[in-house]
Amino acid sequence: MTIRDFQQRIEAIYFEKDSRRGLAEDFGWLVEEVGELSRALRRGRHEEMAGEFADVLAWLCTLASIADVDLQDAASAKYAAGCPKCGATPCSCPS
């Protein structure tokens, strides 16, 4: 599944409900999921981490869809040539 496929799948499942809530409230849900991911990372349970990573990605897709941003295009435009600052892969920017 591509990033675009996933974003479209999340739109099909949730867009109507999420768009009624709006960006600000949906952003709150993303932040909550990031907190849950943080807890899962501290616990170190792979299955739990995988589920929370998926939830964070789903909420990010929701926000992008409501803002009319294609995440696949945005990511490709910014990172396809390497680091956006130095242009290298791997990044050679000073820490």
CATH number at residue 32: 1.10.287.1080
70 lies in which domain range? 3-79
Nearest to 69 by CA among 20, 1, 13, 23: 23
Domain count, the chain: 1
Q: What is the pLDDT averaged over residues 27-34?
A: 98
Two tokens at 85? 């600052």
Q: What is the pLDDT of the chain when averaged over all its residues?
A: 97
Distance CA 66, CA 9 (A): 14
Q: What is the pLDDT of residues 33-74, one digit of tens each?
A: 999 999 999 999 999 999 999 999 999 999 999 999 999 999
93 inside domain: no
Predicted TM-score (pTM) of the model is: 0.92
Band of residue 95 on the pLDDT scale cut at 50, 70, 90: confident
Instruction: Evaluate whether residue 71 is within a structural domain.
Output: yes
Across 8-31, average pLDDT: 97
d(CA 37, CA 48): 8
SS3 call for 68? coil
Answer whether residue 87 is part of any domain. Answer: no
* DSSP states of 5-58: HHHHHHHHHHHHHHHHH-HHHHHHHHHHHHHHHHHHHHHT-HHHHHHHHHHHHH
